[in-house]
Structure 1
Amino acid sequence: MNPPSAPTNYARHAHIDALRGIAVFGILLVNVFSFIWGFNSLRYGVLPVDASLFDILSVAFVAFFAEQKFYPIFAFLFGASFVLIARSAKEKLGRWSDAEQLYRRRMKWLLACGVVHGVLIWFGDILTVYAIAGFWVLSGLANAKLRRVRKHLYVWLGIFAALLLLNVFFGTQLFSSDDLIAQSKNEAYAVEAARTTYTYGGYLSIAVQRVRDYISVTTQSVFILPHIAVLFLLGLISVRRGWLTQPWRHTIFWRRVRLAGFAIGIPFNLIWATLILAEAIDPLHPSPYSYIAYAWLPVGGSCLAAAYVACLMLAGSGTQRWLADWMAPVGRMALSNYLMQSLLCSVLIQGFGFGLGASWSPAGWMLIAFAIMLLQLLLSRWWLSTHTQGPLEALSRRYINRKQTAA
């Protein structure tokens, strides 16, 4: 018999699917800007002098609410899904070694999807990094003792902390740098050149820029690997301890997470949004504090992300039912929806398609993002009313099962 506040019989943990769906939508809010501005330090580009209040609020809203909040949630759930998938595979196949082999095939599929996505559709692909990190960080931990998992977590936390301190050190050097203005001019020039290519260029010129940016993103992802590893391992532990799979048994824990997450996350991200908005308004005179804030954004963003997760874990039964009905289908088709978002954004925003990135402002780009969300809400629910999986998820299962049968 379920506890009074426990969700009723969702074999797939509908609240986890719902959280994944929310993360997919939140990631879109940030990603939509890069379809216009490319891969540059000026993540939100340059606001024109005649920018409307809605344009200004769009940049501030995304910087405060979404940037580096939903990608940590997605990485956290990636680690959690690793345990859930491995357990399911163990029940079907009978041995943990077979479950690990199946997991490796899933990572190969994910890596292939990431490379195709990054080269042909959108440079900012995260699947490539997740697949590589999954091979490196999670392999061998499906049935490991919690003590071993914690040791791995502490090692990656140490590496992550060391990188943070290094970033702060190099960031403080900018206070006395005579080249800061010159560097800002170069960055402004680069971001405008990327915008011209992405919003006015043909498919070939965009493809060249995309591949160049994809190589840069993938190469520099080595610096975010420790952060991803920490999030993967926290997700793994959260399932092993039942925090994520049985949140109704851990309400005190989640209340503490919510309190700490909001207490740290809200002030930090208000400062971050203020700095990033000032940078978008006047990119030639950025505050050196923005470099330090960016170095600590993985911490400040993850704190607010943890508060978001806690709010969902503590949501009432009515909210949970709504999320299970509407957001869980989006999360069950997370891969299909993630790649569909990229395809729609590239066609709608970039020069080889409708080119709305050139003619619309940031407020209009937000409308595009929310329109895609609405479409995917409806489409995901309709698709799963007649199918058990999303289209790419079904292809993934077919690939894995074929390899398994051949083995």
Structure 2
Amino acid sequence: MGAAGLYWRHGLGIYLRRHLLLLVIGLAHFALLWHGDIIASYAQVALLLPLWLRRSPSCTALTLWAVGLGLLYFIPTFWAALAMNWSAPRYGFSPQFEEHQSYLSILRERLHDLPSDSLLGYPYDIQSLAGGLLFAGFFLLYFLLGAAMQKSGLLARPQQHQVALRRLAFWGLGLGVPLGVLLAWMNAQTAAPYTYLSESVRMVGGLLMALGYIGLFGLISLGRSARRLLPLAYSGRMAMSNYIAQSLVMTTLFYPYTFGLYGHVGAAGAVAFALAFGVLQVALSRLYLAHFPRGPLETLVRWAVYGRS
């Protein structure tokens, strides 16, 4: 939604400047802190969005494009997973560390992986390029749905879209929660096909949950409980700063060059810690914004894009 709004308010020049800067920040985040960066992937796909927005398409057209891209991702990915060898072991995406491995050693590995771990990938072969394009198509789906919502005023004027918000909340959470339970079960399976079956469930379930949250929070904003959402708004105004802070804190705790907790904390403990740290960030965001207009990284990006803080 934000990307589409930026394009329609400020035009292509500002739009490209912002997302090229985000690409640089994301690549630096990947190389210096964490291999799972999402900012660079966001920026790469955002650079494709003006191809759809420049003719100001209707909300219906944007939504149909999004549905088509979703099917284009899901059907071949699901079919390929079922065709895999069920007796083969599951492939792991997590990095493997040596005990007390140094930061410089891990940094060298990430720099080596940087071209191939970008969203579109480095086309060593047709298979890797095709996989990267499939993921790019699914990421673009989010941008197209966001553009449709931005154009409709779904959250800017929620009082005019109460029926749509109720449907999003009902169907998004009603389908997304069971898929989340299914994903938890799949993540405990060891056969090779579950590597990509779980990714498909994660992507589709994540999208449905996101739509459900949009409907839920949109409806809450209409009622007397709306003020209770303000703490979340504070953390949202510092989204990038909070995201990078999470990487900094978590790698400090879990990576082998510092406290080395990686592999020593179970799933329940890791989820509990992540939730607790997220709640702490909400409180810290409110405290920070009582003294400054926006987060530190948000200030940097605003200065670089608009020439003012």
Shorter-chain TM-score tier: 0.7 to 0.9
Is residue 47 of structure 2 the alignment partner of residue 135 of structure 1? yes
State the aligned residue count. 296
Q: Which has the larger radius of gyration?
A: 1
The AA in structure 2 aligned to 1:112 is V
Counterpart code for 1:146: P
- The aligned counterpart of 2:31 is 119
Q: Give the TM-score taking structure 2 as reference length.
A: 0.84
Structure 2 unaligned spans of 5+ = 122-130
1:106 maps to what in 2? 18
Instruction: Give 1:153-172 correspondences, 5 Å limit.
Output: 153-155=63-65, 157-172=67-82
Of 239-248 and 371-380, deviating more is 371-380
Residue correspondence of structure 1 range 8-407 to structure 2 within 5 A: 80-86=1-7, 88-89=9-10, 99-138=11-50, 141=53, 144-147=55-58, 150-151=60-61, 153-155=63-65, 157-174=67-84, 177=85, 180-184=86-90, 187=91, 194-197=95-98, 200-218=100-118, 219=121, 221-277=132-188, 279=189, 283=190, 286=191, 288=193, 291-315=196-220, 317-324=223-230, 326-402=231-307
1:41 matched residue in structure 2:
none
Shift of 1:154: 3.4
CA contact (8 A) 1:247 1:314 kept: yes
Q: In the TM superposition, what is the alpha-carbon distance from 1:275 to its structure 2 partner?
A: 2.0
CA distance in 1, matches of 2:47, 2:269: 39
Work out the CA distance in 1 between the residues paired with 2:154 and 2:253.
Answer: 40
| 1:57-93 per-position Cα deviation (integer Å, ceiling 9, x unaligned) | xxxxxxxxxxxxxxxxxxxxxxx1123334554xxxx
Separation in 2, partners of 1:140, 1:182: 41
- In proportion to residue count, which structure has more helix? 1
Name 1:59's counterpart in structure 2: none
Q: Deviations over 1:189-208 (max 9, x none)?
A: x85xx3433x6421122223
Residues in 1 aligned to 2:197 and 2:276: alpha-carbon distance in whole angstroms:
34
Cα shift at 1:113? 0.4
Q: Distance in 2 between matches of 1:159 and 1:233?
A: 10
Does the CA-based 8 Å contact 1:123-1:211 persist in structure 2? no
Q: Say if 2:170 and 2:212, in contact at 8 Å, map to a contact too.
A: yes
On the 8 A contact 2:62/2:148 being kept in 1, the answer is no
**Whole-Å separation in 2 of the counterparts to 1:272 and 1:401:** 42
Is the 2:72–2:134 contact (alpha carbons within 8 Å) kept by the matching residues of 1? Answer: no
Distance 2:36 2:290 in 1: 31
By relative contact order (CA 8 Å, sep 6+), the higher-ranking structure is 1
Q: CA RMSD in A?
A: 2.7
- Aligned identity (percent) is 27
* Structure 1 runs not aligned, ≥5 long: 1-79, 90-98
Separation in 2, partners of 1:145, 1:330 = 31
Q: Which amino acid aligns with 2:298?
A: E
